[in-house]
Amino acid sequence: MKGTKTGRLKKKLHKNVLRVCRERGDCIMANQGFGNCGGNMQASHIKSEGAWPNLRLDPHNIFPHCYRHHIFVWHKDTTESVAWFIKTFPKEYAYLEKAKNEHIDFNNIIILEKLWDAVQLGYLPYRVVYNEIAAEKAPKKS
């Protein structure tokens, strides 16, 4: 297998974070006036992976969407979708606005292994461990 140990683990971890986020519940756009759900559950990043790679593994940045709402609503007009998200989930959006400027060292094998062990246990254990790691990295208030 090509690549570094951390690179392979990050790729594997991302795939499993998406899986546990898909499995965590119903489509966040269900019963919100966007029509009926349809298709397989998908995991969708609120803040894009390209613009905010430090949020790629953040469970607060990944929500379950059915295929129909993910592709034909969320991605059809992302400006409207984000406006809806801010209105519907203001606390989650405020967290993401703060977290996008905080960095966890995802090249640290110890951090990746902790996250890997947690994601094997499901969404909630992963979220708890991620929050603990993020709290350690957050600037301390004086």
Please check whether residue 62 is in contact with residue 45, taking contact to mean a CB–CB distance below 8 angstroms: yes
pTM, two decimal places = 0.87
In a domain, 142, yes or no: no
In a domain, 42, yes or no: yes
Please give the residue range of the domain that contains residue 102: 5-135
Predicted pLDDT at 139: 55
Helix axes 78-88, 90-99, angle to 10 degrees: 110
Predicted pLDDT at 4: 84
**Tens of pLDDT, residues 49-103:** 889 999 999 999 999 999 999 999 999 988 899 999 999 999 999 999 999 988 8
Over 50: is that where the pLDDT of 142 sits? no
% of the chain exceeding 70 in pLDDT: 94
Measured distance CA(58)–CA(127) in Å, rounded: 8
In a domain, 141, yes or no: no
In a domain, 28, yes or no: yes
CA distances 137 to 12, 104, 140, Å, are 23, 6, 9
